[in-house]
Amino acid sequence: MPDLSRRASELGTENAFVVLGEVAELRAQGKEIISFCIGQPDFPTPEHICLAGIRAIADGHHGYTPSPGIQPLREAVAGYFTRTRRVEVTPDEVVCGCGGKPFISYTILSVTDYGQGHEVIYPNPGFPIYQSQIAANGAVPVPLHLREGNGFVFDLDDLRSKLNKNTRLLFLCSPQNPTGSVLSRSDLEELARILADYPDVWVYSDEVYSGLVYDGPFESIAAIDGMRDRTVIADTASKTYAMTGWRIGYAANKTLAPAFTRWVTNTDSCPPHPNQWAVVEALNGPQDASEAMRRVFQQRRERIVEGLNAIDGITCQTPGGAFYVWPNVTEVCKMTGIADSEELRKRLLHEAGVAILADIHFGTRVVGDGEHVRFSYASSFADIDSGLEKIADFIHKNKR
pLDDT above 80: residue 217: yes
Q: Which residues, at least 6 apart from 309, have a Cβ–Cβ distance to it below 8 Å?
A: 315, 316
For residue 231, the enclosing domain spans 63-284
| Any domain includes 38 | yes
Q: Are 326 and 366 in contact (CB under 8 A)?
A: no
pTM for the whole structure: 0.95
The pLDDT tens digits for 51-95 are 999 999 999 999 999 999 999 999 999 999 999 999 999 999 999
Last residue of a domain, one of 265, 284, 303: 284
List pLDDT tens digits, range 228-246. 999 999 999 999 999 999 9
Q: What is the CATH number of the domain that holds 146?
A: 3.40.640.10
In a domain, 268, yes or no: yes
Question: What is the per-residue pLDDT across 179-189, written as a single tens digit (0 to 9) for each?
Answer: 999 999 999 99
pLDDT at 357: 95
Number of domain units in the chain: 2
Q: Give the number of C-alpha atoms closer than 13 A to the C-alpha of residue 73, restricted to the C-beta side.
A: 30
Same structural domain, 121 and 102: yes
- Averaged pLDDT of the chain: 96
237 with 316, same domain: the answer is: no
Q: Please say which residue of 240, 264, 284 terminates a domain.
A: 284
Examine the domain organization and report whether 229 and 130 are in the same domain: yes
Same domain, yes or no: 190 and 86: yes
| pLDDT tier, 26 (very low <50, low <70, confident <90, very high otherwise) | confident
Is residue 186 domain-shared with residue 242, that is, in the same domain?
yes
Q: Residue 23: its pLDDT value, please?
A: 84
Statement to judge: residues 144 and 68 lie in one domain = yes
In a domain, 129, yes or no: yes
In a domain? residue 91: yes
Mean pLDDT of 135-141: 97
State which of 242, 268, 284 marks the end of a domain.
284
CATH of residue 332's domain is: 3.90.1150.10
7: pLDDT strictly greater than 90: no
Sequence-distant (≥ 6) Cβ neighbours of residue 5 within 8 angstroms? none
> Would you state the pLDDT for residue 400?
85
Same domain, 266 and 364: no
Report yes or no on 54 lying in a domain.
no
Q: What is the mean pLDDT of residues 143-152?
A: 96
Tens digit of pLDDT for each residue in 328-358? 999 999 999 999 999 999 999 999 999 999 9
- Domain assignment present for 52: no
Q: Are residues 195 and 226 in the same domain?
A: yes
* Same domain? 248 vs 337: no
Contact 371, 329 (CB under 8 A): yes
pLDDT digits (tens, 9 = 90+) for 151-162: 999 999 999 999
Average the pLDDT over 22-46 and give the result.
Answer: 91
Whole-number pLDDT of residue 236: 98
